[in-house]
Chains A and B, each alone.
Chain A
């Protein structure tokens, strides 16, 4: 794409979109983060003490910053707005004038005093898209339930199914295991961003509206395949939800994921393993027979990978057409040649002149590349600025 093309496309995808984010939770903050990355002006309306996410772990020694908050807030602005005081509510009301999207995660019972009840908001701002994102949503019998990531991953059904594969084989008696970090909340946040942009799309015809997003719903949504399997008559369980053969294997220098779902990939895997005698057994041409003898196959693969270097395995496997990947550490990802080539990371300026790097966005717009990098917004930075 030439730079001329880029200029002709005009700004970033969401240039001109104005968003207020009133967030305590990762889900709401991630929704705002995605919109900010695509060029929306996102203002965090924070309480005087700042968002609780400012002190959420992991913390970066020596900078006072939360790595989580830094990831979630880069590209946003901060306005302190105490919604428990009349002045704060007036300030928010003034700020909401001309705003396209409000993202809010205030629990239902706390909305009234903060001027955030949907009817009240809709009455004053008829073209505003008001998106609520809460752990269990804002309606339904469990709307007043609260949940952190750990609870929500299990409320959506995926938590019960983890870990599968090698971890489960090694530690069959341990409790189920969560996905790192805030996986369910990120699903809730991305669903909120999707719903917000969809409702905004409909504004010319329908005006503003209120949208109710639930992290639990989003977690279930990404786990839909397990519900589909239940409809087919199979209840999934972490002890049995594993690929019959393939999976995580320990190699020299790390772990590798190998997975062959198609016949041609199996043939390529046999090639990768050096066409050993056991793999040339004609009955293994049948995928059902391979599934039946999965443990035996994995035993052979495990023996082979343990004698080979992980990078060599992956390089040869991909060349032969065997889907394979190394389990990369965060350091390997951030220094990855592929990621560097795609500009996945950008400079992030932290207090005290510390320079870090941050993931720009998990999508690219090839006609109008996203702008990269920035800093963590100082609490209330906008309160210091003269009124426009």
Chain B
């Protein structure tokens, strides 16, 4: 092994990175743009569910009930319908997710028969928003019913009030239930995975396509020297990106950081080793840049978004898909990042994901090393 040769490859790679200013800019700006966008746009809490009202009763009681719906920020009243068909049309056109219908004789039945029903038509195509929306509606109607019952009991001096049970949730780690705190670790992993494998996925394929690989082969350099020399500069860029992401998350978005920076950067190094080697492996095995780029997309962006637990909880996936998630480094990294940021878990309690990450990083590095041959065609 010759450090001089490694340094030479490194220098060449750095020159190439610096020459393509725009790509470098994109690589450094992308994390920032992603964080800003996700920070502001992604909100998993489904507040402000669009709501349509249709009051067929038009009584004091129905007004009261609808006032409850208007008062909460769980719903946004977007439309007041004057016919059933109009309400259905709004649901069909996705203008509202929930349509509340108060039937005729609502107040009369409540007064004389002692029970009345309200209808909620729900566009359940988005099952998640639908179930949250139904929960909110249920809560609002319960609150209204509670008020009606209390009033009734006071007037009739009936039995002692029924007790109510409230769960006093103490939410740990993310006290405000902020999506942001939840999303930032995922975004960091996503950006790192993409940047990491994208940076390297073209580096060898490009040399093949342009014919410069033949020149490299003619030199005395060993394959692993090329690998080390080509990867180190990208390592540096990747770590810089991690630092930018983490810094912005903590300072601009006030995401709590409760763990240790050493653990964060240690694990980021492992994760980068995994994704950079993956990119390198892809680059070595596919000799065209198109194929390399598609493979990199396939193995990093989508898995890190969908199979890492970033958006979709892993423990809710079918068993087989849960096994598949084990082979993607993003899964471990997201769970480590969440723990480090929100929980402040010490490394000793995260041995499992750290070991998983390290194992994958090692396997990918070895694979990438073995795949590269200094042979023509």
- Tell me whether A and B are bound partners: no
**Residues of A that sit less than 8 Å from B by CB:** none
Point out residues on B near A: beta carbons under 8 Å: none
